[in-house]
Structure 1
Amino acid sequence: MKTKILSLFLGVFTITLTSCETENSSDQSTASRQIAPVANSVNVSELSPCAYTELIADQRYDAGDIKVYFDATNVYVEYQASISWLIRETHLFIGKQNMIPLNRYGSPNPSLFPISESFEGGTEAAIYSLPRAGLPKCFTISAFAVVNRLQNGSVVQTESAWSEGVRFNQESWGMFFDVCQSDCSN
């Protein structure tokens, strides 16, 4: 049953992502900043975040924020870069904690997270939308990113970053946080 639900969830999400078209930014410089498209036309600036956590790069830098929003039908997860940082890749898991892809040591494997995206020139923000009905009342989010730090318009540092929260284990700095739909108003 869990496999069927996961397969249905992944299928709906894949259809949602593939229905969006993005511009090819190959002619943009590395330092240019663009906003990643939302999987639909909802403007999250009209919503209040229900949950919020820092995006921590290299276990010590505040590279941005992860914000969770709800409306009547969807949940939105926003990656937002801090000043002087750009997001190059996102890897997102939303669902039951026991379904997070882990390696044999119990550390998360973000390359197997069901939601992934790359941004050639980097982006200030990326927003992902999922139907609320497909999620349990309380669920886990694990948000991973590859980020670039800029100085005078040039990339000076590339780091991995995790949403701040509970560590999966002491050997890994991968983290997750929990959100309950009942804690969030429409």
Structure 2
Amino acid sequence: MKTIVRSLLFCSALLFMAACENEPVVSNTPGSEMNKTENTVFDVSNACYTTDLMAGQFYLAGNVYVKMDANNVYVIYNAINDWKIKATHLYVGACNLIPQTSTGNPIPGKFPLATNNPSGVQQVVYTIAKSGLGDCFCIAAHAEVSRPGQSETAWAKGDNFPGNNWAMFFSICKSNCLDEEQH
């Protein structure tokens, strides 16, 4: 009995140390286990596109990065300072197919990719197959972010939607974002 109790305590301690080792990262890969938590941070040092993640129009809450390899496009939300990412909504594809109202306001709740992280995380990574995208495509990256005493809606900085709000999107071309094998 003592051996079982000792084993359980040892396993519990290992799990606790592993959970506390790093800030959790949410990885969302379509077609695989959604919202998988990992204890590593996705490297953004060689991203081919970077833009600000603007919270409440005026606050820099982080960055959104785009990376590509031979098969995939990676969209990485990265919070900075004391900001945390509570939820994300992402659209990657043909610009004319971004879910919008009849007046041109985006509908993030209808974006095909999403995460929900009530306690907040520093980074969210999406993996999208390149084969399903044209040479040029749009990315609309929305988030719900917070820091102590403040919660905001956030958008990756880019072009404004035609509607009457501050929501944004950006376009990117595969040919302008060469993967590492092509350098």
TM-score (norm 1): 0.75
Aligned-pair Cα RMSD in Å: 2.3
- Indicate the residue corresponding to 2:141 in structure 1: 143
1:172 deviates by: 1.2
Give the alignment of 1:22-171 within 5 angstroms: 33-37=23-27, 39=29, 44-45=42-43, 48-150=46-148, 156-169=149-162, 171=164
Q: CA, structure 1 residues 81+43, in 2 after alignment: closer, same or farther (shift >3 Å)?
A: closer
1:170 deviates by: 5.7
Q: Which runs of 4+ in 1 moved over 2 A?
A: 37-44
- Give aligned pairs, total: 151
CA contact (8 A) 1:79 1:126 kept: yes
Q: CA, structure 1 residues 99+46, in 2 after alignment: closer, same or farther (shift >3 Å)?
A: closer
- State the secondary structure of the residue aligned to 1:98: helix
- State the secondary structure of the residue aligned to 1:172: coil
**Which residue of the other structure, out of 167, 170, 173, is the alignment partner of 1:174?**
167
Q: CA, structure 1 residues 157+143, in 2 after alignment: closer, same or farther (shift >3 Å)?
A: same
TM-score (norm 2): 0.76
- Indicate the residue corresponding to 1:17 in structure 2: none
Cα shift readout 1:109-154 (whole Å, capped 9, x = no counterpart): 100000011002100000000111111000000000000013xxxx
Which consecutive unaligned segments of at least 5 residues does structure 2 have?
A: 1-18, 33-37
Q: Which has the larger radius of gyration?
A: 2
Task: Give identity over the alignment, percent.
Answer: 36
CA contact (8 A) 1:92 1:114 kept: yes
CA contact (8 A) 1:139 1:178 kept: yes
Q: CA, structure 1 residues 47+104, in 2 after alignment: closer, same or farther (shift >3 Å)?
A: same
